[in-house]
């Protein structure tokens, strides 16, 4: 596995992967040394993440290779179908996966998503519309949802 660290508006971001695909993208809670030379296998991921943060990318086209159970991988695949700028509830996601009673298992798999932003777990919210847990912190989840909102609220004052 190769890795690199890039800077994003939300902090230092670590990318891990190899020729089989990206296995992890995480935001770090401490300052790290930014990678001077990004490994060739991770260049496209770093470029696409920068395009996303600059507002020039809404969809990612990367080969992904996360480690997880078949159930987790199924949830992570479903997350990739949530459109940019949209949200779904954990209940809606459970229904899409065919088992409304699996809501806790779906939420657990969502929380273990190893590929931040590209597999958009930040687009899943509570049934009441509230933000709920996010491994990167709720402030980052709110930032990402605001970043993706195509109809940003204009202030009147």
Active site residues: 121
**Cβ atoms 144, 122 nearer than 8 A:** yes
- Written as six digits, the tokens of 134 are 């996010």
DSSP letters, 73-132, are HHHHHHHTTSPTT--EEHHHHHHHTT-GGGHHHHHHHHHT-SBTTTS-GGGEE-TTS---
Distance between CA atoms of residues 144 and 40, nearest Å: 27
């Amino acid at each position: 596995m190769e890795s690199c660290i890039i800077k994003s508006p939300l902090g230092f971001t670590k990318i891990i992967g190899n020729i089989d695909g990206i296995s992890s993208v995480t935001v770090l809670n401490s300052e790290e040394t930014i990678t001077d030379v990004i490994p060739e296998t991770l260049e496209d991921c770093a470029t696409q993440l920068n395009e996303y943060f600059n507002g020039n990318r809404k969809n990612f086209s990367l080969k992904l290779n996360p480690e997880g159970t078949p159930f987790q991988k199924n949830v992570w695949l479903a997350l990739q179908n949530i459109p940019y700028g949209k949200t779904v509830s954990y209940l809606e996601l459970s229904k899409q996966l065919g088992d409304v009673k699996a809501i806790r298992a779906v939420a657990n798999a969502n929380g273990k998503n190893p590929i931040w932003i590209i597999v958009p777990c930040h687009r899943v919210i509570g049934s009441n519309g509230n933000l709920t847990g996010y491994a990167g912190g709720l402030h980052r989840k709110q930032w990402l949802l605001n970043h993706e909102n195509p109809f940003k609220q204009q202030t009147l004052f």
